[in-house]
Structure 1
Amino acid sequence: MASDREIFSLSGPLKLTVIDWTNAHHRRSIAASLVQGVYILERDRQESRQGAKALAPPWWEFFNFQLIHVLVDPDDLSFFGSIYELRLPHSLSNYLGTQNPPKYVIAFRGTITKPISRSQDLKLDLQFIQNNLQHSARFHLGLQAVQNIISKAGPGNIWLAGHSLGSAIALLVGRNMVKMSCHFETYLFNPPFTSFPLEKIVKNEKLKRGARVVISVITAGLAAALKHNSLKPRQDDEFRVLSAWIPYLFVNPSDPICSEYIGYFANREKMMTFAGGKIGRVAAKNSIASIISTARGNHSEAFHLLPSAYVTNNVGPCQDFKQAHGIHQWWRSDLHLEYKLHQYR
């Protein structure tokens, strides 16, 4: 039996009958709903729900999108991504604002812990932790899908969106497209951060700040000791190119998977005022794992580290990890949110 969270009429953002594309809540809610559509599409496949029994279509049809392509993992045949096209009505009276809606949205789901998809999803989670997600079929299929859309319609008005593991894939795709001079509006919900979750576990703010300073110093020191600085010109160029791309990050401090992004940006700002900012600049681009991997002869880029981002922090109360990490929180109208723009200079 389907849960209430799978049924749009029970848990979707039903109040968005008139869409203002300049409204951040509307844009966030639609992006999150389209990601949820990928989750339910895979659950429909697993439960053999077809035709009138399928629960996924309302998650995109309510906003006048149509599903034009499904991305399939070749290893377990699961649906991990969707490409949506907006079908504008003859009259635009149900749309407000002057900002253009997206023509296409490419969305990626995260991990589903059901037996049918669990093995492959957890394997990819491990690949992300090992900084090897760029070698996965899902990343390459996602990148190819985006390139196909560009060749068909041009680079304008394309969104990327993902949740959890799916946001890691969207982030990788977005980074690669930026290097090709294509900047997409990108929505990353609960993006995973490969680091010890100090933000969630350490409650003492002074101790937390001190630990991050120490980690930054160690990271910079390792980079110098292992002669990782030979990669510095290329790193600086890549970070400078990426800094013009500002994805939207949606994080929850109660979620240990993504909460460290809060500390990453806060610590980076602090370290830029320490010792002329040199340590902060090195630490901003590197993780200890990527440095060690590169020292062993396997060039490894810390793909989760971003030069710039709009960070939206859900500081409202959460009952448990499932709620703090869930996609459903991001279309609620009663959220208590904090916003901050971080730009690498």
Structure 2
Amino acid sequence: MICERDDFSLTGPLHLTSIDWANEHHRRSVAGSLVQGIYVAERDRQLQRDGPELALSPIWSEFFHFRLIRKLVDDADNSIFGGIYEYKPLSQTVKSMELSPRFVVAFRGTVTKVDSISRDIEHDIHVIRNGLHTTTRFEIAIQAVRNIVASVGGSNVWLAGHSLGASMALLTGKTIARTGVFPECFAFNPPFLSAPIEKIKDKRIKHGIRIAGSVITAGLALAKKATQHYNQNDRASPAPPDPFAALSDWFPRLYINPGDHLCSEYIGYFEHRNKMEEIGIGFVERVATQHSLGGMLLGGKEPVHLIPSSVLTVNLSSSRDFKQAHGIHQWWREDQKFETKVYQYK
């Protein structure tokens, strides 16, 4: 039996018969559909839906004149975790062609099916432990992105992902951005690992908790940095470039639903910076925003979810449950209300 969410004719953005690449709704919808195409490609594989008569994944990209030219396959369980799409438009149906991508690299999230669930959960744990960069999936992904960027340039490449796939898109994007190339990145429901402070209704209590957290985090970060400098006996040497600030001109697009506790903390993460500036202690938050308590305790690399700047889109429409709030289909629905804000780290 075909799952409704896999069937483009039932749940896809059929209303987008003509694309305007300057339209945010169109761009968001296409990026989301391409990510959904990777989900469906993996379910096609697991259910052995092969060939044009059975496979449900091609229409999710071909409807918009994209073709899946390469599947990114996990080296352990052979699951499809991502894919590379090439854009082959019919010019008469396209507006603002100069804003379109030539290639889109898309990553799916966790698929709760027996053939892939154990490997996906393993990567979910890597996200929690700030170790996604150590996985072979990341090695496969970053090499693919580097090759495309080297071939056609970063401005012609989009990255897109949902949930676990959003973490992969952000990590590959951050890695490429550190070289001075800023690809467009569409991260749908990206995990933000933190206590669910955003769920607190009382704004004063919520703000107080965030201030306390910022002070503690900034203090620990500065103490750790001072200790490292002392141990290295380099107190007289010039300070190294700030790797966090170096990413401030990269603006990944984050799509957040307040009802999704896995990603909703992004709302407070960015709003809190502005509030700290308003009360005159923005310098504390500029340090704290680069670190997480969990990350410092684990001693790992910089958490994937911490980013300097973003174009943050929040779905203001109510969701009936967590499943809907975390789902990708919401991002191309016409009946949803979205609010977008731009945040830049300074």
TM-score, L = length of structure 1: 0.94
Equivalent of residue 282 in structure 1, options 282, 287, 290: 287
Structure 2 distance, partners of 1:98, 1:316, is: 31
The Cα offsets for residues 212-243 of structure 1, whole Å up to 9 and x where unpaired, read as: 11111110122234346757944x62122100
Equivalent position of 1:27 in the other structure = 27
Structure 2 distance, partners of 1:6, 1:229, is: 53
Does structure 1 residue 334 correspond to structure 2 residue 339?
Answer: no
Does structure 1 residue 110 correspond to structure 2 residue 109?
Answer: yes
- Percent same amino acid among aligned pairs? 49
Say if 1:308 and 1:343, in contact at 8 Å, map to a contact too.
yes
5+ long unaligned stretches in structure 1: none
User: How big is the shift at 1:150?
Assistant: 2.2
Name the SS of the counterpart of 2:166 in structure 1. helix
Does structure 1 residue 291 correspond to structure 2 residue 289?
Answer: no
Say if 1:223 and 1:229, in contact at 8 Å, map to a contact too.
no
Does structure 1 residue 248 correspond to structure 2 residue 253?
Answer: yes
RMSD of aligned residue pairs (Cα, Å): 1.6
The Cα offsets for residues 138-157 of structure 1, whole Å up to 9 and x where unpaired, read as: 11111000111123323331
User: How big is the shift at 1:184?
Assistant: 0.4
Say if 1:274 and 1:280, in contact at 8 Å, map to a contact too.
no
Q: Show the 5 A alignment for 1:27-106.
A: 27-51=27-51, 52-89=53-90, 92-97=91-96, 99-106=98-105
TM-score, L = length of structure 2: 0.94
User: How big is the shift at 1:82?
Assistant: 0.6
Structure 2 distance, partners of 1:94, 1:225, is: 57
Structure 1 distance, partners of 2:340, 2:212, is: 27
5+ long unaligned stretches in structure 2: 230-237
Equivalent of residue 212 in structure 2, options 206, 211, 214: 214
Structure 2 distance, partners of 1:228, 1:83, is: 44
Equivalent position of 2:167 in the other structure = 168
Structure 2 distance, partners of 1:287, 1:228, is: 17
Name the SS of the counterpart of 1:191 in structure 2. coil
Say if 1:286 and 1:301, in contact at 8 Å, map to a contact too.
yes
Q: Show the 5 A alignment for 1:138-157.
A: 138-157=137-156
Equivalent position of 1:224 in the other structure = 222
The Cα offsets for residues 17-47 of structure 1, whole Å up to 9 and x where unpaired, read as: 1111100000000000000000000000000
Name the SS of the counterpart of 2:195 in structure 1. coil
Name the SS of the counterpart of 2:289 in structure 1. helix
The Cα offsets for residues 37-86 of structure 1, whole Å up to 9 and x where unpaired, read as: 00000000000000110000000000001110000011111000010001
The Cα offsets for residues 293-337 of structure 1, whole Å up to 9 and x where unpaired, read as: 33xxxx521221111000000010100001000000000011111
User: How big is the shift at 1:114?
Assistant: 1.2
Name the stretch that deviates more: 31-40 or 188-197. 188-197
Say if 2:127 and 2:304, in contact at 8 Å, map to a contact too.
no
